[in-house]
């Protein structure tokens, strides 16, 4: 039994913030940001929430798949920026769409969150436990950014992407994932500190902290190795893959992966120019953009790959 993606959806906040807009409120420039990252603009929330964007993306994906909420028996969301610690974003989606028959939970694997969620759905399908899943990546990263730290806040955006996955004869051909907790602190965001009658450590919120160069080195070595592994497992060569849909962190990471795999860059579609880095949401949003443009045809072979905080990574080969 394999995992087939039968519908996609996505939702971005309304407000566009360009690099020039940022240069008016902090010491940065379009030249610095776009030459180092490829990012030109991102969307940031005003009234939107992680669950609200997720619900819109989920509804689009269900409509695209032609299924009703009652058919969904599993909802998994990759996110590190839900609106509540509990209920989970997945439970909020369940309530909003009326997916009464589903079990719902979130996964915290940062930028690999959607890939880990997809693989979890695949494991449930293979075990024969569930048949139809809503799998999402959704983030409101702007709320965990230090807007006084120009080296991180310019990189990220907000949004949600969703797919409907169903147990089928074809779909996910191969998958591999990994974690390296030993390097966890190169990309970190501390949650609340101890706070009880015995100790009150701090009431100040804490924000994302990143060693950009360490993350870059991790990504350009781990991602090509992970993609080679899934290609080997699927018995495919890089030249047989139609598209490589990678986590949209940075254009230079994507160019380096293309070079290491000896694949033309035009097979690596891009959304980071208009979305920035939306962590777990970036792979499903890009997949939905391509699906809606009619670029994904039945039988195509597609590689998906996510990588980031934890550190974590996950890659898959799919037949569309």
Residues contributing to the site for ligand ACO (CB under 6 A): 28, 32-33, 36-37, 111, 150-151, 154-155, 187, 210, 212-213, 215-216, 219, 249-250, 252, 277, 307-308
The answer to whether 277 and 39 are in contact (CB under 8 A) is yes
Q: Which of 71, 76, 69, 258 is nearest to 162 (CA)?
A: 76
Both tokens assigned to 161: 């992407």
Q: Is 247 a catalytic residue?
A: yes
Q: Which of 19, 64, 250, 277 is catalytic?
A: 277
Shortest spacing between CB 181 and ligand ACO, in angstroms: 15
User: Cα(180)–Cα(318) distance, rounded to whole angstroms?
Assistant: 25
Q: Where are the alpha helices (DSSP H) in the chain?
A: 19-23, 30-37, 50-65, 89-97, 113-126, 150-153, 212-234, 251-261, 272-275, 282-292
Nearer to ligand ACO, 208 or 290 (CB): 208
The answer to whether 276 and 145 are in contact (CB under 8 A) is no
Q: Which of 11, 111, 189, 275 is catalytic?
A: 111
Helix (H) or strand (E) holding 163: strand 158-168
Nearer to ligand ACO, 104 or 223 (CB): 223
* 3 state SS of 106: strand
Nearer to ligand ACO, 155 or 234 (CB): 155
Check the CA dihedral 90-285-160-153 and report its sign. positive
Q: Is 111 a catalytic residue?
A: yes
Shortest spacing between CB 207 and ligand ACO, in angstroms: 13
Q: Is 277 a catalytic residue?
A: yes
Nearer to ligand ACO, 124 or 313 (CB): 313
- Closest-approach residue to ligand ACO (CB): 212
Q: Which of 91, 189, 247, 275 is catalytic?
A: 247
Shortest spacing between CB 176 and ligand ACO, in angstroms: 17
Residues with catalytic roles: 111, 247, 277
């Amino acid at each position: 039994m394999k995992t087939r993606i039968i519908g996609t959806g996505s939702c971005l906040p309304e407000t566009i913030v360009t690099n020039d807009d940022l240069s008016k409120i902090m010491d940065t420039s379009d030249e610095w940001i776009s030459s180092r990252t490829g990012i030109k603009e991102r969307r940031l929330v005003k009234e939107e929430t992680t669950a609200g964007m997720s619900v819109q993306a989920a509804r689009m994906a269900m409509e695209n798949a032609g299924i009703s909420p009652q058919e969904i028996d599993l909802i998994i969301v990759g996110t590190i920026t839900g609106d509540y610690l509990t209920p989970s974003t997945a439970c909020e989606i369940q309530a909003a769409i009326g997916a009464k028959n589903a079990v719902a939970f979130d996964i915290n694997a940062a930028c690999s969150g959607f890939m880990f969620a997809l693989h979890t759905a695949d494991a449930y399908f293979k075990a024969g436990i569930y048949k139809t899943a809503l799998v999402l990546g959704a983030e409101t990263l702007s709320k965990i950014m230090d807007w006084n730290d120009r080296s991180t806040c310019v990189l990220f955006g907000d949004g949600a992407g969703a797919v409907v996955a169903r147990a089928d004869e074809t779909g996910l051909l191969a998958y591999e994932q990994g974690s390296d907790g030993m390097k966890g602190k190169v990309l970190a965001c501390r949650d609340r500190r101890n706070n009880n009658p015995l100790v009150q450590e701090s009431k100040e919120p804490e924000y994302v902290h990143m060693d950009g160069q360490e993350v870059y080195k991790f990504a350009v070595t781990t991602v090509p190795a992970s993609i080679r592994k899934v290609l080997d497992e699927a018995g495919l060569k890089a030249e047989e893959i139609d598209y490589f849909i990678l986590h949209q962190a940075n254009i230079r990471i994507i160019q380096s992966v293309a070079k290491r795999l000896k694949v033309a860059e035009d097979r690596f579609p891009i959304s980071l120019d208009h979305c920035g880095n939306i962590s777990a949401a970036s792979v499903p949003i890009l997949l939905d953009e391509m699906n809606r443009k009619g670029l994904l045809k039945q039988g195509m072979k597609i590689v998906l790959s996510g990588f980031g905080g934890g550190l974590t990574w996950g890659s898959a080969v799919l037949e569309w």
